[in-house]
Amino acid sequence: MKKRRILLTLALSLSIGISIAKAQEKQPENNDITSLLKKKRMYNQNNGTGFRIQLYNGLETKAKSLQSRFRGEFPTIYTKIKYDQPDWKIQVGDYRTKLEADRALNKIREKFNGSIVVPL
């Protein structure tokens, strides 16, 4: 009797799982959603969404010296110095996702504490 209940429970669970999976497959594809996704992908390609790591925000002389020090430590990572009045900013890397930027930030923070991830 106990085995019969267990088998019945397993069979019922399996059939419910299969019916739920098939119900999700049968959803019609919405052309509006597909066209919006295409537009979003094109926008992202043209406007360069992503993240960078900001090392410093402040005086020009310190920014330039910090940039050269960073290039010595991490020669393969892209660096950019930017002037947003009244401060100079050093931003490094080009990361598509915040997760990628956070992983790189962990390595960079070992030598450059105070670094943060900023959106482009």
Decide if 41 is inside a domain. no
Mean pLDDT, residues 89-100 taken together = 92
Q: Is residue 19 part of a domain?
A: no
User: Any alpha helices (H) in the chain, and if so which ranges?
Assistant: 2-25, 31-47, 60-73, 98-108
Tell me what the pLDDT averaged over the chain comes to. Answer: 85
**How far does CA 84 lie from the centroid of its chain?**
25
Dist. CA 10–CA 22, nearest whole Å: 18
Residue 26: pLDDT over 70? no
* pLDDT score of 105 more than 70: yes
Residue at 113 is within a domain? yes
Does residue 18 form part of some domain? no
Average pLDDT over residues 81-107: 92
* Count of structural domains, the chain: 1
pLDDT, greater one: 84 or 24: 84
- Separation of alpha carbons 106 and 110, rounded Å: 7
Residue 97 DSSP label: S
Q: Is 3 helix (H, G, I), strand (E, B) or coil?
A: helix
Here the CATH number for the domain that contains residue 80 is 3.30.70.1070
Strand 87-95, strand 79-84: pairing: antiparallel
- Grade residue 65 by pLDDT with cuts at 50, 70 and 90: very high
**What percentage of the chain carries pLDDT values higher than 90?**
48
Burial annotation 63-86 (CB, 10 A radius, 16+ → b, else e):
beebbeebeeebeeeebebeeeee
Q: Is residue 24 part of a domain?
A: no
The domain containing residue 112 runs over which residues?
Answer: 50-119
pLDDT digits (tens, 9 = 90+) for 29-41: 788 888 888 888 7
Q: Could you tell me if residue 63 is inside a domain?
A: yes
User: Is 16 a domain residue?
Assistant: no
Asked if the structure places residue 37 within a domain, the reply is: no
